[in-house]
Amino acid sequence: MRDPEDELQELDSAGLRRSLRRLRSAQGPVINTEDSGDLRNFSSNDYLGLADSPFLKQVFAEKVQKYGAGSGASRLVCGTMDAHLALEEEMAAFKRSEAALTFSAGFATATGVIPAICQKDDIVILDKLCHASLIDGARMSGATIRVFPHNDLGKLESHLQWASDQVGQDGRILVVTESVFSMDGDRAPLREIVELKSRFGALLLVDEAHAFGIIGPNGRGLAAEEGLEGQIDFQMGTFSKALGLSGGYVCTSRAFVDLLVNRSRSFIYSTAPAPALAATISEAVRHVRGTDGDALRKQLWENIRFLREDAPSAILPILMGSNEDAMAASTHLLEQRFLVPAIRYPTVPRGTARLRVTVSAAHDRRDVIALRQELDQFQKTALSHP
Ligand SMILES: *Cc1c(COP(=O)(O)O)cnc(C)c1O
């Protein structure tokens, strides 16, 4: 039998072993770590700085008093409370969809939704850079999977052509992409993708994990910015990033939500999220879509532009190539008290190890400028997708 120590040794020698870093402070633009003390944190997805905000902490505390700490059961048993349904109504109204369903995480949303929609005789077509949760969801579905090179519309079209010849009368074709890609920070050509999926009668799922709350009118996402909300069959996202909390959502038709309630295994066989959390998410959505959110988004985008004038999102990758170079750059930044992670295979393709900088509205402008100066020495290669 394999010894786990041998497997760890293999990871070590490939420069791929990862380990956990213990934080002694709350999440924020400056964090206190056990191994390196205070660090200026450019690695979190808490884009609006809400995770440790006085506003959310107060709301959360109040909601715990009102709803209790736990939910007691799965949603289908006796775990569906006012707070869950109110959040789903809030999300459907916000995203202009007929209905919405929420999950305990974005990961559980992807792995719950895709296998509930597609099965053995169906076809799922994914962008090559889709998040692990979307890939796992597609695999779990048992559908035939096709992958197109990142944002390659020509290849997507030929997959769709092939799929529509292949799929049976009742079969489904599901195209899956992200609106902002988590490791590259670039955007999908949503308008063209919508045009293609409509032409071939396919369904489309767009994961807005890194756009929700920070892009589009009221932070509604890239689909809203492009005026495409009504044409995307499944708008998915997470409350774990810009909203500073945790949980996932999908906005779709009433019929699909009812089908998900009946079929989605991560929804059915998992205890409902704490009702206090659901109620806090509702308040966070209202906060983020209003003038407070507008002010935070303005600050965030100013901070982003201080790092890169034409950045399409709050995620700035700096390609290093080898694992060793990426690790050395990350270590150098750590010595300057910047936490900027090196991202390696299997999170990104081999040979494309990189630094991944994420920006927050809560960052001190002076720290952003100081980081920019540090990064200038690395910014030699642009990220490209052959
Ligand atoms: C983070 C992320 C998820 C998972 O969301 P969680 O709420 O963290 O489980 C799903 N999709 C994408 C694109 C993500 O970046």
pLDDT digits (tens, 9 = 90+) for 168-190: 999 999 999 999 999 999 999 99
Fold agreement (4-41+291-344+355-384, 54-289): no
> Is 90 exceeded by the pLDDT of residue 264?
yes
> How big is the CA angle at 103 (ends 279 and 69), to the nearest 5 degrees?
45
Catalytic residue of the set 182, 240, 264, 303: 182
Domain spans of the chain, in order of start: 4-41+291-344+355-384, 54-289
385 is a catalytic site residue: no
> Is 60 exceeded by the pLDDT of residue 155?
yes
CATH of domain 4-41+291-344+355-384: 3.90.1150.10
Alpha-carbon distance of 145 to 115, in angstroms, equals 12
Cα(114) to centroid(ligand 1), Å? 14
Alpha-carbon distance of 48 to 50, in angstroms, equals 5
pLDDT the model gives residue 16: 85
Q: For a pocket test of ligand 1, which of 47, 130, 133 has the largest count of ligand atoms closer than 8 A to its C-beta?
A: 133
The mean per-residue pLDDT over the stretch 43-69 comes to 97
pLDDT the model gives residue 15: 82
Residues with CB under 6 A from ligand 1: 105-107, 110, 131, 133, 178, 182, 207, 209-210, 238, 240, 246, 248
45 is a catalytic site residue: yes
> Is 90 exceeded by the pLDDT of residue 253?
yes
Catalytic residue of the set 44, 45, 133, 313: 45
User: pLDDT category, 199, cuts 50, 70, 90?
Assistant: very high
pLDDT the model gives residue 346: 87
* Average pLDDT score, the chain: 96
The mean per-residue pLDDT over the stretch 145-152 comes to 98
> Is 70 exceeded by the pLDDT of residue 383?
no
The 10s digit of each residue's pLDDT in 86-128 is: 999 999 999 999 999 999 999 999 999 999 999 999 999 999 9
Range name among 114-128, 222-236, 255-269, 340-354 with the lowest pLDDT average: 340-354
Protein residue with least CA distance to atom 7, ligand 1: 106
CATH fold of 54-289 reads Aspartate Aminotransferase; domain 2 (3.40.640)
* Ligand 1 atom nearest to CA at 108: 9
**What is the three-state SS of the chain?**
CCCHHHHHHHHHHCCCCCCCCCECCCCCCEEEECCCEEEEECCCCCCCCCCCCHHHHHHHHHHHHHHCCCCCCEHHHHHCCHHHHHHHHHHHHHCCCCEEEEECCHHHHHHHHHHHHCCCCCEEEEECCCCHHHHHHHHHHCCEEEEECCCCHHHHHHHHHHHHHHCCCCCCEEEEEECECCCCCCECCHHHHHHHHHHCCCEEEEECCCCCCCCCHHHCCHHHHCCCHHHCCEEEEECCCCCCCCCEEEEECHHHHHHHHHHCHHHHCCECCCHHHHHHHHHHHHHHHCHHHHHHHHHHHHHHHHHCCCCCCCEEEEEEECHHHHHHHHHHHHHCCEECCEECCCCCCCCCEEEEEECCCCCCHHHHHHHHHHHHCCCCCCCCCC
Q: What pTM does this model have?
A: 0.96
Find tokens 């393709």 and name the residue: 349
> Is 90 exceeded by the pLDDT of residue 378?
no
pLDDT the model gives residue 385: 52
User: pLDDT category, 386, cuts 50, 70, 90?
Assistant: very low
pLDDT the model gives residue 132: 96
182 is a catalytic site residue: yes
